[in-house]
Structure 1
């Protein structure tokens, strides 16, 4: 895989040449420290990297994905492909109780809250999940440049890939032959639902393809955490 021209033009800092062993150590410590820790993923390329690192760390817990009813077909196909690849992990698909409608047109923020945030929060609360492993990186958004490895809030959030650049992620996926989202090659650097997601244009930040014209860059899942 070669880095899309969009990613290269949208970043103003270079690759970090990351050592995957540091992220592996973080994941292994999380598994031993927080029994019941789960992996959450939105199936960006960093999500594919995280799943492979978790597998290498002998993680056998839950991998949680929220099917909002509005995902690209490629997203759902990738989820199935990864599920078939990492058979020692327990892949769980969450869905909202309310069926898909056109709420994204009139109130897209409420649409996110009902169809994405609520199903995940309900699952984490019901299963008393103490900590969540996720694939956020500092390069994925200007608002995430201060992202820490560990965040505290209603539950611990662990971010083992914070220092990875797009080139780090791409090189890791290529070296290990790991499936990744096919729309990434078309400039979709941050993957969400089809009504609110588009390709990133040259010179824009990687998350600019999300929630265009809505004055926000987050769906709501990762808001409100204290850093530590």
Structure 2
């Protein structure tokens, strides 16, 4: 069933009221029941991604999984994406890459991350994801409140940029995540053992010291805490640099 943009804010409010204390599996089941094939999961195949991916594999293994291959990911992440998708039987993992024209125009030397991390994230993550999510009514994220920052007040269901976003793991902390990983014998991202509790692109991710926040290694030394795909924006705020999206 498709919903127009006027219906989606009301749907988000109703579902958040119903699901704000629900188990993540219940949230996912409700999302699938509501949006069916008009629903996608966005996954980084990062440190905690296996939990949500495993749940989806049990509920709807053919759900489209959007994976942002920025061209600057750790090799371990690319290997983990291939191996985990195969292990879980996920049949529709889509590798989203930045447009060559955007890279040639804005980041021809692949060093934009050194001078403007927001612009780098825009062409490598925001634009490709916006393009891929066109035609979907809802999408699922792996965000959690315990990550801190703007995520402290994260709802389980929200409306953003004309779509309904589900955050099934919003209420879970590290204890619940670790327990689920152990219960289902899920493989950890190989960089977790090397001190990376949150993993993005290699130039902007570092290992953290014991006791530091989970996301302390992301854009360390700057005020940046989000790549931009979870930041509300005006309809014309994100434009493709080199062509249509």
Task: Indicate the residue corresponding to 2:136 in structure 1.
Answer: 129
Q: Secondary structure at the match of 1:34?
A: helix
| Post-superposition offset of 1:59 | 4.1
Q: How many residues align?
A: 203
Q: Does 1:199 align with 2:202?
A: no
Deviations 1:100-127 (A, max 9, x none): 71111121210001011110011112xx
Q: Does 1:188 align with 2:196?
A: yes
How does the TM-score come out when normalised to structure 1?
A: 0.84
Q: Does 1:57 align with 2:59?
A: yes
Q: Secondary structure at the match of 1:173?
A: helix
Q: Secondary structure at the match of 2:130?
A: helix
Task: Indicate the residue corresponding to 1:31 in structure 2.
Answer: 32
Contact 1:81–1:179, Cα closer than 8 Å, also in 2: no
How does the TM-score come out when normalised to structure 2?
A: 0.78
Cα RMSD, aligned residues only: 1.6
Partner Cα distance (2:86, 2:61) in 1? 15
* Structure 2: gaps of 5 or more residues: 1-21, 234-245
Q: Secondary structure at the match of 2:76?
A: helix
Task: Indicate the residue corresponding to 2:70 in structure 1.
Answer: 68
Contact 1:140–1:190, Cα closer than 8 Å, also in 2: no
Partner Cα distance (1:135, 1:208) in 2? 17
Partner Cα distance (1:157, 1:203) in 2? 31
| Post-superposition offset of 1:88 | 4.5
Match of 1:169 among 152, 169, 177: 177
